[in-house]
Amino acid sequence: MVNKNLFFFLLFLAMVAWGGSWVNVKVLGHYVSAFEMIFLRFGITAVTMVPIIIWLKHSFKIDLKSFGLVVLVALALIFYNKYYYLGTKFGTASLGGAMVTTMIPILTFILLALMGVKKVGSKDLFALGLGAVGVLTMLHIWTFDLAHILVIQNLYFFLAAILWAILTIISSKSTKISPIVFTFYMYIVTVALDWILFVDVSAIPFETFDSIFWINTLLISLAASTFSNTIYFLGIEKLGAAEVSSFVFLVPFSAIGLSAIFLDEKVDFFIIIGTVLTLYAVKLLNNITILKRHRKSV
């Protein structure tokens, strides 16, 4: 039996780590390219997931269909991380963490609706409109300054959100293996494709990396990937997807808060307002119920 409150605390830490990854990427942008970051981050993550999968007693077997989906998802993950990296490097971690994480579930819903998987009712249209208002609030749309709104980093953030929405839909098609095993193979294939197509490992300047680099690399690999993904999947298994999904609402606020603390970024009031509006739209679209504490243990 596992204490439910312990899972709540671990999920809280996982969401903070996900939000903190935006800070980590901002720092790593001063050391390595996007593709070098992808190689190092997911290489470390894949290795550290092996003992966890063994401890959970999951099989490493993967069927051909799931492996094909892994390859597609890995490609989406590479380009998601590229635009996530570029948007954060040239923009702010706080805006990226707020804008991308709130747009992903909305764009996922829209794509599923266009595919005919989701039916769009009046409540959904209201939620989508509210989400749009939220995003436009983050971008200070009332200034009518296109030079400010249509800057390249905002395009990068939008592309990142679309790619993660596509990644989410593709990965949901795999049902024959554990999600954590699917994620492990996704990281393995991501590293392999990144190495083959984009990275010259011999050119990575390891000799220039200081403690700041390695602290942020380990945080984004071990905390934001290995730990957070494991706790998230275990949380779904122990508590259910509906209850765990409410924790994701902490991610943009942790990104904003940690960006202010560690990067000295100014906390933009309109980013916070826009985030709240967009998260409420996500809640409506996905019928998410904020934590119900009616059981003491699982």
Examine the pLDDT at 280 and tell me if it is beyond 90: no
Q: How far apart are CA 109 and CA 111, in angstroms?
A: 6
Closest to 34 measured CA to CA, from 271, 198, 202, 277: 198
Does residue 193 sit in helix, strand or coil? helix
Q: Is 173 left (phi over 0), alpha (psi -120 to 50) or beta?
A: alpha
Separation of alpha carbons 159 and 104, rounded Å: 10
Tens digits of per-residue pLDDT, 139-173?
A: 777 665 666 666 788 899 999 999 999 998 898 88
Indicate the pLDDT class of residue 70, thresholds 50, 70 and 90.
very high
Model confidence over 185-198: pLDDT tens digits? 999 999 999 999 99
Average of per-residue pLDDT across 46-50: 97
What pLDDT does 176 receive?
Answer: 81
For residues 275 and 134, is the Cβ–Cβ distance under 8 A?
Answer: yes
pLDDT band at 77 (very low <50, low <70, confident <90, very high): very high
The average pLDDT across 116-120 equals 81
Which pLDDT score is estimated for 294?
Answer: 45
Distance CA 198, CA 227 (A): 27
Q: Distance between CA 31 and CA 215 in Å, rounded?
A: 13
- Domain coordinates of the chain in residue numbers? 4-286
Identity of residue 156 = Y
Average pLDDT over residues 118-128: 84
Beta strands in 212-275 (DSSP E): none
Nearest to 136 by CA among 146, 126, 121: 146
Q: Which amino acid is at 144?
A: F
Contact between 51 and 264 under an 8 Å Cβ cutoff? The reply is no
290 φ/ψ sector (left φ>0, alpha ψ -120 to 50, else beta)? beta
Residue 117 or residue 184, greater confidence: 184
Q: Which pLDDT band holds residue 293 (cuts at 50, 70, 90)? A: very low
**292: three-class secondary structure by DSSP:** coil
Say how many C-beta atoms besides its own lie within 10 A of residue 160's C-beta: 26
- CA dihedral for 236, 76, 85, 272, sign (positive or negative): negative
